[in-house]
Amino acid sequence: MSEPIAGVGRVHGGGGGLPGARGSAAGMRIALAASRFHGPMVERLVQGAASELARMGVLAEDVELAWAPGAFELPYLAQMLARTGRYDAIVTLGVVIRGETPHFDYVCAEAARGVAEVARAEGVPVLFGVITADDPQQAHARAGGVTNKGAEVARAAVEFVAVLREAR
């Protein structure tokens, strides 16, 4: 957003040179909470997130990775990480692919709800980087085949932390 908006005095976020700016995230501490289920795809999400954080200026020693068994367990892991007080943001990463039973619906809904609940309860940005796909081809496309959801969510985490810092 480069043009002023009529009737708005101060804007927090929305551009200001931050998105993609090298070094803009220096000093931020980010936790990656990743699901082991569909491991090869999740590893590509983790790699995408780590690469994007480095590109934005986060040092490798300021990024920590913790693994959960599956996407359903990510909210609890994120909550435990948030409660340490060590992180400016937590990025959750996982893959859930629809099967023949309603299990997909329950896992996706609870993972999304839980991540949002943790962010509100703990006062730490917790971002949802769980791919929810109808088939493996969709998941592969979003895990580095066409785009990398890990990189996108890591970038969003840095932008959100910057906005919150500015707003305080």
Active site residues: 103
- What angle separates helix 103-122 from helix 74-83, to the nearest 10 degrees? 10
Q: What amino acid occupies position 108?
A: C
First to last CA, the chain: 21
Strands 63-68 vs 126-133: parallel, antiparallel or unpaired: unpaired
30 within 8 A of 88, measured Cβ to Cβ = yes
58 within 8 A of 158, measured Cβ to Cβ = yes
The CA angle 45-120-127, to the nearest 5 degrees, is: 10
List of residues 6+ apart from 39 with CB closer than 8 A: none
